[in-house]
A and B are shown apart, each in its own frame.
Chain A
Amino acid sequence: QSVLTQPPSASGTPGQRVTISCSASGSNFGNNYVYWYQQLPGAAPKLVIYRNSQRPSGVPDRFSGSKSGTSASLAISGLRSEDEANYYCAAWDDSLRGVFGGGTKLTVL
């Protein structure tokens, strides 16, 4: 079974740079891509990074992603209060089943 592991929490002060990790284990993943979603309270998730490091239009360039081997990271620079949210990494396993990380609650102090 494919598993994505994230830290439960992260924090930073306004203007800081924070990173959230996502580690893959278990059976193989499909296309080797990791996706990142931001979920504000009471809302549906929103895509902020696709294909490890690509930013959808409309997502600030403060958001960046990277992947090396079985580990991926989401970085947010110039942290702002509106970045406070839950962040989830996601991928597809080699049976084309969706997998989500457990989520990281980002607090802006």
Chain B
Amino acid sequence: QVQLQESGPGLVKPSETLSLTCTVSGGSINGFYWSWIRQPPGMGLHWIGHVYYTGSTNYNPSLGRRVAISMDTSKRQFSLNLSSVTAADTAVYFCARVSLSGYPEYYDHWGQGTLVIVAS
């Protein structure tokens, strides 16, 4: 079955770059969008962006040029880089797969989430 697992530092200093990787096991990489979603403590879900298996990307405009998502199909991984972080970027970060039917549909597989704290 399809499983996703986030990995990366749990603590990042302000102004530095947050880097996370999501490793996909089972299923196909091709034909799906691969997303990052975050959830600040006690708050709701926020879509960060996604990468198509071809490498094309789409991002939440609220994050401006700070965000970049990339795909490495040979490693079955996709990654998130968020630069110039502040305390407001403290959140649980989820990776997720988006099912497609000619159009993005729903998130059908999720990682367990990883808490990233931004603090000095």
Contacts and interface: CB of A to CB of B under 8 A. Distances in A.
7 contacts: A44-B110, A45-B107, A50-B106, A90-B107, A96-B58, A99-B47, A100-B37
Nearest to A35: B106
Contacts of B81: none
A98 B105 contact: no
- Which of under 10, 10 to 19, 20 to 34, or 35 or more describes the interface residues of B? 20 to 34
Contacts of B113: 44
A100 B58 contact: no
- Which of under 10, 10 to 19, 20 to 34, or 35 or more describes the interface residues of A? 20 to 34
Contact of B47 (A47, A98, A103): A98
Interface in B34-61: 35, 37, 44-47, 49-50, 58-61
A72 B7 CA distance: 35
Interface of A: 1, 30-31, 33, 35, 37, 39, 44-45, 47, 50-51, 86, 88, 90, 92, 95-103
Which residue of A47, A102, A103 has the most chain B CB atoms within 10 A of its CB atom? Answer: A47
Given A35-B106, A97-B60, A44 B111 contact: yes
Given A39-B45, A97-B47, A99-B47, 4 more contacts: A1-B61, A44-B110, A90-B106, A100-B47
A47 to B, nearest CB: 5
